[in-house]
Amino acid sequence: MGRPPCCDKIGVKKGPWTPEEDIILVSYIQEHGPGNWRSVPTNTGLLRCSKSCRLRWTNYLRPGIKRGNFTDHEEKMIIHLQALLGNRWAAIASYLPQRTDNDIKNYWNTHLKKKLKKLQTGVDGQNQDVLSASQQVSKGQWERRLQTDIHMAKQALCEALSLDKTSSLPADSKPSTNLYHPYTTSYQGSTYASSAENISRLLEKWMKNPSKTPQTNSETTQDSFNNAVATTGSNSSEGAASATTPEGFDSLFSFNSSNSDASQSMSVDETTTTTTTANLTPDTSLFQDESKPNLETHQVPLTLLEKWLFDDGGAQGHEDLINMSLEDSATLF
C-alpha cells in the first residue's frame, strides 16, 4: 500500500478550525505567502496536516472569496458549465473567481441538482435531457461528447462566459458575505465573531503590505486578489466586499465576454492556437491552465479554452445562446 494519509499521524488535529488556529494560519501566510503547505504545520505549530491548512486557506480564509447567496447569473453559469465540463468543480470555479470549488460543489449538490430534478419531474421529456446529459457528463463521458460535438460546446461556453456582459446582476445580488469575516454566516456567536475581527485586522495589514514571496501560479493569483482589493481601498471590515462587488466581477468578465475585448487583449499567435487546438484533448491540454483570472491588470492570459473559443469565432449566436433555455442546453450534448 501507499504511504499512510498525512492526517493519520498521531497528534494531528481534525475537525472545525478555531479562530486561534485561523489567526495563526493567516499570520503565517501573511508572512510567507501561500504555498509550501508542508512546512506550515511545522513552522506554525499548528496541529493540522498540510492539506487541512491548504483547504482552510483556499476555501475559507483566502481574501476575495464571496460567500453566501448565489446570484441568478452565477447559477446559470454553474449550470451551463457543469453541463459542459461535468463535475470539474475546480475548472468551473475558475470562471467564478470569487467562489471556491467547494462552495460551487456544495451549491450544486444542495440546490441546483434539486432545481434540475424539479424541472425534470415538472416537465417530462425535454428537461429530462438536461439531467441525463449532466449525469452522463458527470461520469466522465464529457470528453467524448466534447470531441464529437465540439462546436456546440464552444458556443455554450462562449455563452457562459458572456452572460455577465449582457445581464446585470440582480438587485438582490448584494454580497451577502464579508470578505474578511469568514464567520458571519455560520458563527455569529460572540467568541468566534470577535476572533474573526482579529483575523480581519491581520488581513487588513496584509492587504496593505502584500508579501513578496516567490511567484507560483496560485500565488500570482493571490497577489492579484490582494492588489485588487488593496487598490479599491477596501477596509477589512467596512469595505470587505469591495472585491466582491459586481463591478469587480464585471470587469473581470467583460474582459472575457466579448470578442473585441478578447481580440484586443490576448496575443495569441493564430498558427499556434490552431495547432494547439487541433491537438487538444479535453482532459490534458484544454484545461491545463485553469488558474483564476487576474482581476487587476486585465492582462490575464486566457485559458487555452477561452483562446480556443475566441479564436474560432465561437461568439456566433451569442444572443440566442444567452437566452437559451435549459432544454436547449441539453441539446448541446
Partner DNA sequence: AATTCGGGCAACCGCATCTCC
Partner DNA sequence: TGGAGATGCGGTTGCCCGAAT
Q: Which residues lie near DNA (CB under 7 A)?
A: 2-3, 5-8, 13-17, 35-38, 48, 50-52, 54-56, 59-60, 67-68, 87-91, 101-103, 105-107, 109-111, 114, 138, 185-187, 189, 218, 283-284, 288, 290
HSE value, Cβ hemisphere, 13 Å, CA-based, for 206: 29
Q: Which of 47, 62, 45, 44 is nearest to 17 (CA)?
A: 47
- Closer to DNA by Cβ: residue 185 or 299: 185
Taking the complex as a whole, the smallest distance from the CB of residue 40 to DNA amounts, in Å, to 8
The 8-class DSSP code of residue 99 comes to S
Distance CA 170, CA 173 (A): 5
Rounded to the nearest whole angstrom, what is the least distance from the CB of residue 283 to DNA in the complex? 7
Contact yes or no for 314/114 (Cβ under 8 A):
no
Residue nearer to DNA on the CB measure, 38 or 298: 38
CA distance 241 to 227: 14
- CA dist 137 and 62 (Å) reads 30
**110/271 with CB nearer DNA:** 110
* Whether 293 contacts 300, CB under 8 Å: yes
DSSP string spanning 212-247? Answer: -----HHHHHHHHHHHHHHHTT--TTTTTTGGGSHH
Least distance between DNA and beta carbon 32 (Å) = 11
> Least separation, in Å, of the C-beta of 63 and DNA?
15
- Between 139 and 205, CB nearer to DNA: 139
Please state the closest distance from residue 321 (CB atom) to DNA, in A. Answer: 24
Cβ(286)–Cβ(304) under 8 Å? yes
Q: What is the distance between the alpha carbons of residues 253 and 249, in angstroms, rounded to a whole number?
A: 6
Q: How far is the CB of 242 from DNA (least distance, A)?
A: 20
Place of cell 462562449: 158
Q: In terms of CB distance, is 114 or 205 closer to DNA?
A: 114
Name which of 115 and 208 has its Cβ closer to DNA.
115
Helices 113-122, 126-136: axis angle to 10 degrees equals 150
Nearest-approach distance from CB 182 to DNA, in angstroms? 7
Q: Cβ closer to DNA: 63 or 232? A: 63
Confirm if 249 and 161 have CB atoms less than 8 A apart: no
